[in-house]
Structure 1
Amino acid sequence: MSNKLTVTHTYKVTGMTCSSCEAKVKSSLLMLPNVTEVEVSKEKQSATITMEKHIALSTFQNALDKKYSITAAEHNETAEQAKSWFATYKPILIIFGYITTISIIAGIKHSTFHWMQAMNIFMAGFFLTFSFFKMLDLKGFAESYSMYDIVAKKIKAWGFIYAFIELGLGIAYATNFQPFATNIVTFVVMTISIIGVLQSVLNKRKIQCACLGAVFNLPMSTVTIIEDALMIAMSGIMLITML
């Protein structure tokens, strides 16, 4: 017996006029990824859908013929989408929460907040934590990373190398080793990394983000862009202050 949690919602579906319509709506919805069960009623003009995670209403509408219209009947769609978003990105949100908290604490000295110190600790925590998850399944990470990274697509070994670069950067920030060179490497590596991420998100490719390795099944999204952009911005700011 599977212990996987599921979500079940009942929707109003208009436009069904016969049993053939009923069957067509059901088959169309069942073809969608993560949909496990569908019950459709022409008489009630409804569809009860069981899914492995909440699916946006627009996804259901796009799967149906234009003559059918589907709307939320018993739930708040906005609230459900927000809940689904937080459930999907819970691991990365918790990680960022921990790293941010530690960085803020480290940045406070004698009632003064030292931004550079806080950013340095944040970068160390970020790279050490993210490299840790990549190391848990290095091969799995390298395979996922090669799906979208512009370098890893051409050089398969880059996925393996990248994980160790992150580890090295984490140690460098933690020990304040050659800060100028460390920030240059971070700026260059993360700028290269964000190119593949931007291409995948803008092209709306449905692939797994490898930021936390192959341990968590996180979809590629704007969250990934924010991660990389944050590292680029921080390393850039730190470089400017050193010039």
Structure 2
Amino acid sequence: MKKAATVYRMVTPDHLCPWGVKAKDLLQRKGYEVEDHHLESMEANEAYKEKHGYEETPQVFIGDDRYNYDELREKFGMKQDPKQGETYQPVVAVFAVAFAMALTTCWAMRGGLDAIRVIELFIAFSMGVLGILKLQDLLGFSTGFVQYDLLARKYVPYSYVYPYIEAGGGALMIAGLFTWVVAPIVLIASGIGAISIIKAVYVEKRDLNCACVGGGSSVPLGFISLSENLMMIAMSVWMMVKA
């Protein structure tokens, strides 16, 4: 017998409820035949919730059981959407993509893989991407950064400059331009950052989120965050030695 479910979701000319779309898709992927009811205005949506005493839509009915979207995911053994709580996923995604870009760029430039050049490009690309993530919301980044960076806590405007140092340093390091200007600046900034994280996490034992991927991040401040600064330190020193 075909499994059946009923969904009540908001579908208006101005708004398509994303959780409703996802609920219907999830049911269909699980093999359910979906009876799809549209609430075609904000007024209709509010009236439906008020009439039945619901706090939200979509509402999903499977037999005698009722679910909201989060409960439906839980029924199928899935995590919350969006993911809640601390996660290293943003940093892992940046490093994974940067490494893939480093491999393909090295191959395109040299017709093969050079381990040292791949590492150089990986760090430089990582710096660039992490800088972009910070620059997309400077105010949000600054709010998180001043909670632990020693220099930013003393001089707040530095928190607005740091993302430019990181992104600009990464871009210039790709081509090895202005090494004796760029590398020392990046070395100082990343050195202060590393000391700040060690002090906040390992000395003071503070439970903070890292601003490494921008404001509002749920990435825990810790070793993964420290790795960003350690890579920048290593790249700065290597570029100066190489020059």
Identify the TM-score tier after normalising by the shorter chain: 0.5 to 0.7
CA positional deviation for 1:190: 0.6
Structure 2 residue aligned with 1:208: 209
Listed one character per residue, the Cα deviations across residues 172-214 of structure 1 (whole Å, up to 9, x for unaligned) are 1234312343222222211111111111111221111010111
Residue 217 of structure 1 is matched in structure 2 by 218
**d(CA) in 2 for partners of 1:178, 1:120:** 16
TM-score, length-scaled by structure 1: 0.59
Structure 1 window deviating more from structure 2 (190-199 vs 224-233): it is 224-233
Q: Does 1:192 align with 2:192?
A: yes
1:111–1:128 distance in 2 versus 1, CA, 3 Å: closer
1:151 alignment partner, SS class: helix
Between the aligned partners of 1:180 and 1:101, the Cα distance in structure 2 is: 28
Aligned CA distance change for structure 1 residues 210 and 167 (closer, same or farther; 3 Å): same
Q: Does 1:107 align with 2:106?
A: yes
CA, structure 1 residues 104+180, in 2 after alignment: closer, same or farther (shift >3 Å)?
A: farther
| CA 1:190–1:224: 2 relative to 1, 3 Å | same
TM-score for the superposition, normalised by structure 2: 0.59
DSSP 3-state at the match of 1:209: coil
Counterpart residue identity of residue 174, structure 1? I
What are structure 1's unaligned runs of at least 5 residues? 4-83
The residue number in structure 2 matching 1:168 is 168
Q: Secondary structure at the match of 2:154?
A: coil
For 1:94-133, list aligned pairs within 5 A: 94-108=93-107, 112-133=112-133
User: 1:153: which partner in 2?
Assistant: 153
Q: Is the 8 A contact 1:191 1:232 kept in 2?
A: yes
Q: Structure 1 residue 112: deviation in Å? A: 4.8
Partner of 1:93: 92
Q: Which amino acid aligns with 1:178?
A: F
Structure 1 range deviating more: 90-99 or 112-121:
112-121
Distance 1:141 1:198 in 2: 19
For 1:171, the aligned partner's letter is: A
Counterpart residue identity of residue 206, structure 2: R
Q: CA deviation at 1:131?
A: 1.4
Which residues in structure 2 correspond to 1:73-88 (within 5 Å)? 88=87
Counterpart of 1:92, as a letter, is: V
In 1, Cα distance between equivalents of 2:110 and 2:164: 36
Following TM superposition, where does structure 1 have runs of at least 4 consecutive aligned residues deviating by more than 3 angstroms?
108-113
**How many residues are paired up?**
162
- Matched residues, percent identical? 23
Q: Distance in 1 between matches of 2:222 and 2:106?
A: 30
Contact (CA 8 Å) 1:119, 1:234: kept in 2 or not? no
Q: Quick one: structure 1 residues 165 and 174, their matched pair in 2 at CA, closer, same or farther if it must change by over 3 Å?
A: same
Aligned equivalent of 1:35: none
Whole-Å Cα distance in 1 between the matches of residues 200 and 146 of structure 2?
12
Kept in 2: contact 1:136–1:215 (CA 8 A): no
In structure 2, the residue matched to 1:40 is none
- The letter for the 2-side match of 1:208 is N
Q: Give the whole-Å Cα distance in 2 for the aligned partners of 1:215 and 1:122.
A: 25
Give RMSD over aligned pairs: 2.8
- Are the structure 2 counterparts of residues 171 and 238 from structure 1 closer, same or farther at C-alpha, using a change threshold of 3 Å? closer
What do residues 43-76 of structure 1 show as CA deviations (whole Å, max 9, x unaligned)?
Answer: xxxxxxxxxxxxxxxxxxxxxxxxxxxxxxxxxx
Q: Deviations over 1:132-154 (max 9, x none)?
A: 11122111111111100010000
